[in-house]
Amino acid sequence: MTEPRRPAPARRPSAAAEAPALASRRAALRLLQAVLDDGEAMDDHFDAAVARLEARDRAFVRLLATTTLRRLGQIDGVLKAFLDRPLARRHGAVRHVLRLAAAQILFLDTPAHAAADTSVELTKTLKAPGLTGLVNAVARRLAREGREVLAGQDVRLNTPRWLWQSWIDTYGEATARRIAEADLGEPPLDITVKADAAAWAEALKAEILPTGSLRRLDGGLVSQLPGYAEGAWWVQDAAAALPARLLGEVAGLTVIDLCAAPGGKTAQLAAAGARVIAVDRSEVRLRRLSENMERLGLADRVTTVCADAATWRPETPADAVLLDAPCTATGTIRRHPDVLRLKKAGDPDSLAATQDALLAAAAEMLVPGGRLVYCVCSLQPQEGPARMATAAALPLTPEPVTAAEVGGLSEAITPEGWLRTLPCHLGDRGGMDGFFAARFRRA
CB burial of residue 103 (10 Å; 0-12, 13-18, 19+)? buried
Active site residues: 377
Host H or E run for residue 58: helix 55-70
Residue 248's region, left for phi above 0, alpha for psi from -120 to 50, else beta, is left
State whether residue 270 is helix, strand or coil.
helix
CA 42 from centroid of its chain's CA atoms: 10
Picking from 330, 346, 350, 363, the residue whose alpha carbon sits closest to that of residue 438 is 363
DSSP state at residue 331: G
239 and 434 in contact (C-beta within 8 Å)? yes
357 and 365 in contact (C-beta within 8 Å)? no
- DSSP assignment of 274-321: -EEEEEES-HHHHHHHHHHHHHHT-GGGEEEEES-TTT---SS-EEEE
Host H or E run for residue 255: strand 254-258
Name the β-bridge partners of 322. 257, 373
Beta strand 435-442 with 366-376 is: antiparallel
Beta-carbon contacts of 438 under 8 Å, excluding residues fewer than 6 positions away, are 373, 374, 375, 384, 388, 391, 398, 401, 417, 418, 419
401 and 375 in contact (C-beta within 8 Å)? no
Name the β-bridge partners of 376. 436
Q: How many CB atoms lie under 10 A from the CB of residue 251?
A: 9
- Measured distance CA(320)–CA(258) in Å, rounded: 11
